[in-house]
Amino acid sequence: MEGKLVQYLDGRAKPAERRAVEEHLAGCSACRNRAEDFRALWGALDDLPVISPSPAFDASLRVRIAAEPVRRSLWGWLPSPRLAFAVTALVAMSVWMASMPRITINDPAMTGVAGEADFGLIRDLPVLENYEVLSTFDALSELRLRRPLRFPEK
């Protein structure tokens, strides 16, 4: 009876076990009183507002977690979110850059413009070479004045 009463009272006994306990309780006042007391006790235990798990619970929980089979789905093989985001951003940037129009010197119009610019540079090269001379050239200082300058009197 000792091993069956708790299971009977919490409703987890199988029908056959339940019938056996009920038959026993019908003829045993001591067990019947004990069963009533257990019900009363459980009601009192239910009145506890909060009961914190003991340290044994934490340890047992770790045991249960460790005993859990490892489930690896398709998602489990994916890399971390950060790495996935970085790879996606890199691919997107590569696609975007590949889709940009390219400036090539094979373009005839661009080739013509570039040719003219090069020709102008060559044509103006002597001027650029003499830039220093020209920039310091003071022609006015060498001019001979025909008559002296007169400043208005105050």
Binding site for another protein (CB under 8 A): 2-7, 9-12, 34, 36-49, 51, 53-54, 56-57, 60, 63-64, 67
Cβ-based neighbours of 129, under 8 Å, separated by 6 or more: none
Contact 25/51 with Cβ under 8 angstroms? no
CB of 50 to another protein, least distance (A): 9
CB of 66 to another protein, least distance (A): 12
- End-to-end CA distance of the chain, in Å? 138
User: How many angstroms separate the CA atoms of 9 and 3, rounded?
Assistant: 11
CB nearer another protein, residue 67 or residue 139:
67
CB nearer another protein, residue 61 or residue 128:
61
CB of 42 to another protein, least distance (A): 5
User: How many angstroms separate the CA atoms of 46 and 40, rounded?
Assistant: 10
CB nearer another protein, residue 45 or residue 109:
45
CB nearer another protein, residue 61 or residue 90:
61
Q: With b meaning 16 or more CB within 10 Å and e meaning fewer, what string describes 52-74?
A: eeeeeeeeeeeeeeeeeeeeeee
CB of 98 to another protein, least distance (A): 58
